[in-house]
Amino acid sequence: MPLDHIVRPKPVWIPPEPIPDDVDLAALYPHRLIASLLWRRGIRTPESAAAFMSTEGPETLDPHLLPNMDRAVARVARALRSGEHIGIFGDYDADGITSTAALYRALISVIGDAKVTPFVPNREDGYGVSRRGVHHLADAGCTLMIAVDTGSNDHDAIALAQSLGMDVVILDHHEVEDGEPEGSVLVNPQLHPEGAYTELTGAGVAYLFVLALAREGFPVFHIDADDPSRILDLITLGTVTDVGALQGANRKIVRAGLDVLRRSSRTGIQAMIRHGEFNPDTLTSDRISFGLGPRLNAIGRIADPAAALRLLLTDDIEEANDLAMLLEQANHTRRLRTNDILADVAEKILRLPDWETRPFIALHAPEWESGLVGPIANKIVEKMGVPAIVMQERNGVLSGSGRSVHGVDLLELLREAEPLMTRYGGHAGAGGVTLPAENFEAWNAAILAAIAEKGHTLPQPPVVTLHAWLPEQAWRLDVARVLQQLQPFGHGNAEPIFGIEHARLIRYSTMGREKNHLKLVIGTLGREMEAILWGGAGRSHELTLATHVDLAGTLGINEWQGVERLQMVLKDFHRAD
């Protein structure tokens, strides 16, 4: 039984926050709709609005606002000037792979590829900096190891690297649990949670580090025709795929990076776009999140992530095509296996006696691949409205990933069960765990007790938060175009969801090759608009004999054969008659 077939309550609609009469929206932004959307996002001063709407590029960011950046630059500068062999240890996800690729290209621009060794681990190596990777870099003759998108909490592995003759610089963005690894240089915005650029992912931290090296006079962009903007395709891929909040520094990076990505001359990215059948002219953060990003992650979830790194680094068209096809095959396999696991998960959930009211779901099975359990946990969270952890069982050890819901700090919950785990880490929204299988019941009980003690109200019902009401006179293409000023949309800068009340329903139908989508046409003669609910064909019976509907969805422009039409993509609908 698929997880989607589990019946859950219908979404609760949260109306737009009322704007007080004394708020001067015109002072916030000239266009009233944009101003109201900014105000409801907590951007409520002219200064913060100007900063958010600014079109300044990421080259205006100041790398030295990050903790320890000066020390990191000094150590790497010494290595570059003296010709040391530098090793790069990158995480195995898309953020780590793009960070590694960007840093590798920057360093070989200065000292050549014979002096730089990149390494990304397999899932079997476990979370963080692995002993195997450290030994690999030491055996290659490295005297300096730069860990990217990992390393903040890997004290033992960092100590091992130092014992093997390597200094260590860490470029990371994950929460720091037990202080900086001794003897290392840690560049991590989370060292100062109230400081600058805390929204950055590993790719963003790597970008600022490369920017800092450039400002020291190193020709780090030489391999990219001395064009500093070219690196932004890699940084944008990592930032968006790792669900970095599209605010502050990330907003500047992704806004500029999407333009670079659309016209990227990088051989591997061109091959990914070609084999994935994406239109480069219409690439958005959404297409990265659900298209390019999963392809980079897929190979690491079921095979060797080094293939994704080679794809981003190669300049050979034939090799790029072979590797891009390999990623396509891995992504196809990932989708099939994910569907199989989701069916198992649904059965296990329904066997829980209190599944409808259970505030936390933890599941494990030996056949569930370790690289797929994180996305599976995320599916459970979306469907059930509770934190979830999904694990693979191997040789008496459970290892897996978890995700959480809004307002529930998963890392805080895990701390309450710390004695029962051999390893854990992450942040408020996501984390990884390893524990003996024999501890599972006690560990599960400890998490449930922590949830009860902290007074969390779970499960959370599905919620659709409306950002503004959209009257019929605003159903216009020019309104949809104005909204594009708020892009890029994504985590931390959600695409606005509009509510429409009591719209006249003209007609409705199913659509798509498998007739699994639902299309409504609403409005009056001369002012009609299509509204699409993807995967919503099963709800068509709710519209039988309906004359009016309430809608919640995003507003966009559907272009087909050169003709532009206003279109709403629905989150939900109600009969209004």
Position 5 scores a pLDDT of 73
Instruction: Give the model confidence (pLDDT) of 438-458 as tens digits.
Output: 999 999 999 999 999 999 999
Among 409, 430, 454, which residue terminates a domain? 454
Among 433, 454, 475, which residue terminates a domain? 454
Instruction: Give the model confidence (pLDDT) of 156-172 as tens digits.
Output: 999 999 999 999 999 99
Instruction: Please report where in the chains the tokens 């649990």 appear, as a residue.
Output: 177
pLDDT at residue 1 tops 90: no
Q: Is residue 193 located within the same domain as residue 292?
A: yes
Number of folded domains in the chain?
Answer: 3
Q: Hey, what are 143's tokens? A: 């005297």
Instruction: Give the model confidence (pLDDT) of 47-86 as tens digits.
Output: 999 999 999 999 999 999 999 999 999 999 999 999 999 9
Q: How many Å separate Cα 320 from the centre of its chain?
A: 25
Q: Which domain covers residue 392, as residue numbers?
A: 358-454
Q: Which helix (H) or strand (E) holds 518?
A: strand 517-524
Residue 353 lies in a domain: no
Position 205 scores a pLDDT of 98
| CA atoms of 100 and 96, how far apart (whole Å) | 6
| CA atoms of 133 and 121, how far apart (whole Å) | 7
Q: pTM of the full predicted structure?
A: 0.91
Mean pLDDT of the chain: 94
Pair type for strands 86-90 and 116-119 = parallel
Q: Is residue 510 located within the same domain as residue 385?
A: no
Cβ count near 473 (within 10 Å): 8
Q: Is residue 19 located within the same domain as residue 138?
A: no
CA atoms within 13 A on the CB side of 57: 12
Helix H, strand E, coil C: the string for 135-157 is HHHHHCCCCEEEEECCCCCCHHH
Calculate what percentage of the chain has a pLDDT beyond 90.
Answer: 89
Position 2 scores a pLDDT of 66
Q: Is residue 207 located within the same domain as residue 262?
A: yes
CB 342, CB 3: distance < 8 Å: yes
Among 426, 454, 482, which residue terminates a domain? 454
Q: Is residue 212 located within the same domain as residue 84?
A: yes
Q: Is residue 421 located within the same domain as residue 469?
A: no
Q: What is the CATH number of the domain that holds 497?
A: 2.40.50.460
Average pLDDT over residues 110-114: 97
Residue 512 lies in a domain: yes
Q: Is residue 295 located within the same domain as residue 187?
A: yes
| CA atoms of 428 and 217, how far apart (whole Å) | 39
Nearest to 498 by CA among 523, 530, 474, 524: 474
Residue 46 lies in a domain: no
Q: Hey, what are 209's tokens? A: 């580090």
Residue 543 lies in a domain: yes
Find out whether the peptide bond into 18 is cis, omega within 30 degrees of 0: no
Q: Is residue 279 located within the same domain as residue 392?
A: no
Q: Is residue 396 located within the same domain as residue 507?
A: no
Q: Identify the band that residue 390 occupies on the pLDDT scale cut at 50, 70 and 90.
A: very high
Helix-helix angle 32-40:46-53, to 10 degrees = 100
Q: Identify the band that residue 550 occupies on the pLDDT scale cut at 50, 70 and 90.
A: very high
Instruction: Give the model confidence (pLDDT) of 492-521 as tens digits.
Output: 999 999 999 999 999 999 999 899 999 999
Phi–psi pair at 116, nearest 5 degrees: -135, 125
Residue 53 lies in a domain: no
Pair type for strands 517-524 and 498-511 = antiparallel
Q: Is residue 265 located within the same domain as residue 405?
A: no
Q: Is residue 148 located within the same domain as residue 199?
A: yes
Position 162 scores a pLDDT of 98
| CA atoms of 421 and 436, how far apart (whole Å) | 7
Q: Is residue 450 located within the same domain as residue 313?
A: no
Q: Identify the band that residue 210 occupies on the pLDDT scale cut at 50, 70 and 90.
A: very high
**CA-CA distances (angstroms) from residue 256 to 58, 182, 251, 253, 284?**
7, 37, 8, 6, 12
Instruction: Give the model confidence (pLDDT) of 32-45 as tens digits.
Output: 999 999 999 999 99
Residue 30 lies in a domain: no
| CA atoms of 283 and 259, how far apart (whole Å) | 9
Instruction: Give the model confidence (pLDDT) of 313-328 as tens digits.
Output: 999 999 999 999 999 9
Residue 486 lies in a domain: yes
CB 146, CB 88: distance < 8 Å: yes
pLDDT at residue 527 tops 60: yes
* Cα Rg, the chain, nearest whole Å: 25
Which has more confidence, 406 or 577? Answer: 406
Instruction: Give the model confidence (pLDDT) of 233-275 as tens digits.
Output: 999 999 999 989 999 999 999 999 999 999 999 999 999 999 9
Q: What is the CATH number of the domain that holds 311?
A: 3.90.1640.30
Output the DSSP codes for 323-374. HHHHHHHHHHHHHHHHHHHHHHHHHHHHHSTTTTT-S-EEEEETTS-TTTHH
Pair type for strands 468-469 and 498-511 = parallel
